[in-house]
Amino acid sequence: MAVVSMRILSPSAFITILVWLLLTEPFGSFAQNDVDCLRAIRSSLEDPLGYLGSWDFSNSSRTSICKFIGIECWHEDDNNILNIRLPDMGLKGGFPQGIAGCRSLTGLDLSRNSITGNIPYNVSKLIGFVTSLDLSSNQLSGEIPVDLANCSFLNVLRLDSNQLTGQIPLQLSQLSRLKTFSVANNRLSGQVPTFANANITAESYANNPGLCGGPLSPCSGRSKANHN
């Protein structure tokens, strides 16, 4: 996979993430952490089409995992993962908890697969520095966790075309960097958040008849009360 330029991050976001990485763990240990992370992801997901079968961990060279399908590294000379992009690969299973080991990760795309179950309640502990999260077109269920509001670097958050229920946490309005947001085609209800720095249109909430507020129809007194 091609190495992605760090210019996709704003200077302030890049500096913050880099300082955190340097302070929390010796840099040399990241390579093994990320190898273990990918091992855990592969073992936790069903891969009927065999895409992840190409992840060969027998090669211990420093740059081996950067050549894996769906993997983009910070730099070609190390094994520190920048993005994991595995869309439309027929993957099955729950959200891979082992992804917490990829501690330098800034982007995750698992869209158009068959990921089931809930979004982890502690998702910010697993992928706290991601700037882009795309879980669209899966079979995720349950409620959107409030903890997503702690993924404070998010620019893109796509949860559309799942089976999510309940209300959208109003705390997501704290995501000041967010530019793209969609929860269309779920089973959500209640008042939608207000995002200060993003122009979120009604299309982002389409096919959730119970939603109201923002670019949608005004909420009734009952809908507002449900969020209190």
Residue 81, in any domain of the structure: yes
Residue 200 lies in a domain: yes
Residues 46 and 91: beta-carbon distance below 8 Å: yes
pLDDT at position 76 is 74
Structural domain harbouring 22: 6-226
Give the DSSP letter of residue 85: E
Q: Is residue 12 part of a domain?
A: yes
Residue 167, in any domain of the structure: yes
| Cβ neighbourhood burial of 177 (10 Å; 0-12, 13-18, 19+) | middle
Does 1 map to a domain? Answer: no
The pLDDT, as a whole number, for residue 228 is 53
**Quick one: pLDDT at residue 197?**
87
pLDDT confidence of residue 196? 86
For residue 34, give the nearest of 98, 86, 85, 93 by alpha carbon. 98
Residue 110 counted as domain residue = yes
- Pairing of the two strands 210-212 and 180-182: unpaired
Q: Rounded CA gap, 27 and 209, in Å?
A: 48
- Count how many domains the chain has: 1
Helical residues (DSSP H) of the chain, grouped into ranges: 11-24, 30-44, 123-127, 221-226
- Give the tokens for residue 121: 């309640």
The pLDDT, as a whole number, for residue 27 is: 46
Domain with residue 205: its CATH number is 3.80.10.10
Mean pLDDT (10-residue bins), the chain, 228 residues: 46 54 49 90 97 85 78 85 98 97 96 99 97 99 98 98 98 96 98 92 97 94 54
Closest CA to 128 of 159, 154, 160, 109: 154
DSSP bridge partners of 166: 188
For residue 145, being part of any structural domain is answered with yes
Scan for tokens 């009734």, then name that residue. 220
Q: What is the pLDDT of residue 1?
A: 43
Task: Return d(Cα 132, Cα 124) in angstroms, integer.
Answer: 13
